[in-house]
Amino acid sequence: MPLWYGGDYNPEQWPEVVWAEDVALMRRAGVTLVTVGVFAWSRLEPSEGRHTFGWLDRVLDLLADGGIRVDLAVPTASPPPWFSLAHPDALTVTRDGVRLTHGSRDTYCVSAPAYRAASLRITRALGERYRDHPALAMWHVHNEYGTPCHCDHAAAAFRTWLRERYGGLDALNDAWTTAFWGQHYSDWAQITPPRATQYLPNPAQALDFRRFVSDEMLAHFREQRDLLRELTPEVPVTTNYVLAGWASIDHWKWSREVDLVAVDHYPSGRGTAAAEQTAFAADLARSWANGRPWLLMEQATGYVTGPRMTAKEPGEIARHSLQHVARGAKGVMFFQWRASLGGAEQWHPGMVPHTGPDSRVFREVCALGEALKRIPPDEPADEPLVEAEVAILWDEEAWWAVQAPGLPSAELDCLAAVEQAHRVLWRQGVTTCFAHPSHDLSAYRAVLVPSLYLISDEAARGLGTYVRGGGTLVVSFFSGIADEHTRIRPGGYPGALREILGVRVEEFRPLADAVTLTDFGVATAWSEVVHLDGAEAVARYPGGGPAVTRRRLGEGTAWYVSTRLGDSGYAGVLARAGLAGSGAPGVEIVRRRDRVFALNHTQDEQPVPVHGTDLISGEPLTGVLNPGQCVVVRAT
């Protein structure tokens, strides 16, 4: 199947005369798929039970006539004002006890019975009405699930979830270490979500609440999905994950439930940093999709996060899109088709900007549509879309646990550590993927473990088996410290990994000032008092203590980096561990099955070891990419 191309289309903002122009422009741009109706609930059901589908009928008919397929949304992310007024108990309550009011979006409690019932009603109404519409290609449930609520409905659902997890209060009291600070619970009714409290919250309670919120939102998703599957068994059902500095859901778990992994990505960096973030997001998405194709559901034609909203540089719209395709996307979509004139996101760039189609942005949008058409579809095959020799461990639960207050340093940052691992390899042209600690890792040459604070006994055993079997493991500080209940493993850090690494860490010594190691340059933020217990020191702190260690174990090697290194220092460790790539910085070469993508993110000409005819331009390659140039060739 050809690559999908399009974006969110919110025609309810525009008079009908604009719709015909929209479809004509979409055809000019090569658009094949649009997401319709994500926030349209109040237009589809202006009062309880009264549906106004006429406008949506006309939109879908127009799109179908234009040959454009629809990813039809279930609009539960934005309940109508009448719903909030009729059911104030279904409005979000923050941890501070503030009940929010409607006026934005995502203001609901996913545990509120009225919200759950209304969600199913609008989903059924849409499903029944459009099940046979020729434009329908996919269902898009909700939007970027991510609203936690702390109200009494949420509290009741949290207790039910806890009962299922722990069975009895004794197990919960033990897991949460409620013996400390007199938190012992003698009745389930005493347990609440982690609402605002006087001082530090209980970390195990906070972590379980995040797990619960993810599961509770998943239950909401599954209800809509199951209903839609019943009505349209052939139509895939998905939802769009948000990828940012926070994650509200356990993506591994969710990815087993969606028919297609779909992600939204808005880089906060600029230039090469944006390209690094794009590759990171795409590799995460492909990993969640278990190596299969996934969909970039949203990106923007400009930068919308970071220091300020700015235009993307000429060529970046296509380059970022092709990065996603190279790394497994089965289509690239934008938010949104036409930039809004009013409303909360009136300054969010569109595929058709405020200026209109006579604009650089729209011309680039059309050029991208043309380029995507020229990239041939994947041949059906068993092997993964993109081969990766190195896996980086990623687990939202460990990240959530590091986001809790009260840790030994405020500088501990799981996401930053994972991003560094990916970035350093990306810069050297090493293609990576992500894996959950519980996965079978035996296929990877190397596994990187950046600040994986929590790890289960079983996953730790798996890492030992991996190393003994010949793998290279590179563990960074603040990994393996705690069990799944955030309880510290005693006897020396890094508890669960001590034996594999052959070290025993006696103390943490967060650093106020940078120090220079005997090798790998400068270390910041964090240091440890490391005792060797089977490992050898590869680099030492100024005082002589081991900072980076290596242990041969069975057929493999386990490295430990006990401090925060800069990118070049970390790259040095990886090189010593046999993970040096041969890529040039800013030049991205990725093989997707039988096609090779070569992208020059730099401002200079770059030599590339890629030969053949560029499928996009039809021109033969000369061994050099121009600044910003992107090519796709058949692998030889």
Q: CA separation (Å) from 331 to 33, 297, 551? A: 9, 8, 44
Question: Edge-to-edge strand order for the sheet containing 595-600?
Answer: 587-592, 595-600, 630-634
**What backbone phi and psi angles, to 5 degrees, belong to 163?**
-60, -40
DSSP 147-216: ----SHHHHHHHHHHHHHHHSSHHHHHHHTTTTGGG---SSGGG-------SSPPPHHHHHHHHHHHHHH
Least distance CB 439 / ligand GLA (angstroms) = 28
Residue with Cβ nearer ligand GLA (352 or 632): 352
Tokens 């006897």 sit at which residue? 491
Calpha distance 444→118 (Å, rounded): 46
Residue type for position 566: G
Least distance CB 40 / ligand GLA (angstroms) = 12
Calpha distance 296→400 (Å, rounded): 25
Least distance CB 300 / ligand GLA (angstroms) = 7
Calpha distance 421→424 (Å, rounded): 6
Residues shown for the chain:
636
- Residues in Cβ contact with 522 at an 8 Å cutoff, skipping those fewer than 6 apart: 514, 515, 516, 565, 566, 569
Calpha distance 142→139 (Å, rounded): 10
Closest CA to 293 of 323, 265, 321, 330: 330
Tokens 């719903």 sit at which residue? 83
Residue with Cβ nearer ligand GLA (343 or 585): 343
Tokens 């005997």 sit at which residue? 518
CA dihedral 624, 626, 630, 633 (to 10 degrees): -30
Least distance CB 264 / ligand GLA (angstroms) = 4
Q: Which two structure tokens, joined as six digits, stand for 326?
A: 């190279």
Question: Which residue is at the shortest CB distance from ligand GLA?
Answer: 264
Tokens 């197990």 sit at which residue? 171
Least distance CB 299 / ligand GLA (angstroms) = 9
Residue with Cβ nearer ligand GLA (142 or 210): 142
Q: CA separation (Å) from 605 to 314, 584, 596, 628? A: 16, 12, 19, 8
Q: Which two structure tokens, joined as six digits, stand for 127?
A: 């499903």
Calpha distance 220→213 (Å, rounded): 11
Given 45, 144, 419, 588, the catalytic residue: 144
Residue with Cβ nearer ligand GLA (22 or 264): 264
Residue with Cβ nearer ligand GLA (216 or 264): 264
Residue with Cβ nearer ligand GLA (298 or 588): 298
Q: Which residue intervals of 244-384 are DSSP H helices?
A: 251-255, 272-288, 316-326, 360-374
Least distance CB 144 / ligand GLA (angstroms) = 5
Residues contributing to the site for ligand GLA (CB under 6 A): 143-144, 264, 298, 304, 335, 345, 348
Least distance CB 83 / ligand GLA (angstroms) = 19
Residue with Cβ nearer ligand GLA (304 or 351): 304
Q: Which residues sit opposite 33 in a β-bridge? A: 6, 69
Least distance CB 461 / ligand GLA (angstroms) = 39
Question: CB of 247 within 8 A of CB of 434?
Answer: no
Residue with Cβ nearer ligand GLA (262 or 325): 262
Question: CB of 486 within 8 A of CB of 203?
Answer: yes
Least distance CB 529 / ligand GLA (angstroms) = 44
Least distance CB 611 / ligand GLA (angstroms) = 39
Residue with Cβ nearer ligand GLA (339 or 404): 339
Q: Is 298 a catalytic residue?
A: yes
Calpha distance 376→424 (Å, rounded): 31
Given 216, 298, 484, 588, the catalytic residue: 298
Calpha distance 479→115 (Å, rounded): 40
Residue with Cβ nearer ligand GLA (263 or 497): 263
Q: Is 379 a catalytic residue?
A: no
Residue with Cβ nearer ligand GLA (341 or 381): 341
Least distance CB 567 / ligand GLA (angstroms) = 29
Calpha distance 88→631 (Å, rounded): 54
Q: Which residue intervals of 443-524 are DSSP H helices?
A: 457-468, 498-501
Calpha distance 161→306 (Å, rounded): 37
DSSP 440-465: --TT-SEEEE-S--B--HHHHHHHHH
171: region left, alpha or beta (phi > 0 left; psi from -120 to 50 alpha): alpha
Residue with Cβ nearer ligand GLA (174 or 345): 345
Least distance CB 366 / ligand GLA (angstroms) = 22
Residues that are catalytic = 144, 298
